[in-house]
Amino acid sequence: MESLMSRLLLLAQSTSTTGSATGDASSSGNNYWVLAPPVLMMIVFFYFLVFLPQKRERQKQDTFHKTLKKNDRVVTIGGVPSQTGITVSVN
């Protein structure tokens, strides 16, 4: 555990001293460009694996709700056992 802490301390010291003593802005600005690709990859990951499927499922639900008519028979998501389903009244 102590070796891990010492390695993290050395890593933190080495990253804080990457710029020159005069405070060179160009070397510290490059660090942000190194972080940009992983952040963009996470955004793309969440879009395709989380947001897009939710959007598609919501569109399916919306079209299903729009096609319901008065006195249509449906079965609830709870799976209530019924031979004829449950009659819903849509206004």
pTM, two decimal places: 0.46
User: Exposed, middle or buried: residue 45 (CB in 10 Å: 0-12, 13-18, 19+)?
Assistant: exposed
Q: Would you say 87 and 71 are in contact if contact means Cβ atoms under 8 Å apart?
A: yes
Check residue 49 and give its pLDDT. Answer: 93
Residue 22 has pLDDT above 60, yes or no: no
* Stretch 18-43: mean pLDDT: 71
Model pLDDT for residues 40-87, shown as the tens digit of each residue: 999 999 999 999 999 999 999 999 888 887 777 777 777 765 444 555
Task: Name the residue ranges covered by the structural domains of the chain.
Answer: 28-65
What is the Cα gyration radius of the chain?
28
Check residue 17 and give its pLDDT. Answer: 55
Q: Would you say 16 and 28 are in contact if contact means Cβ atoms under 8 Å apart?
A: no
Q: Quick one: pLDDT band at residue 16, thresholds 50, 70, 90?
A: low
Q: Would you say 77 and 64 are in contact if contact means Cβ atoms under 8 Å apart?
A: no
Check residue 83 and give its pLDDT. Answer: 46
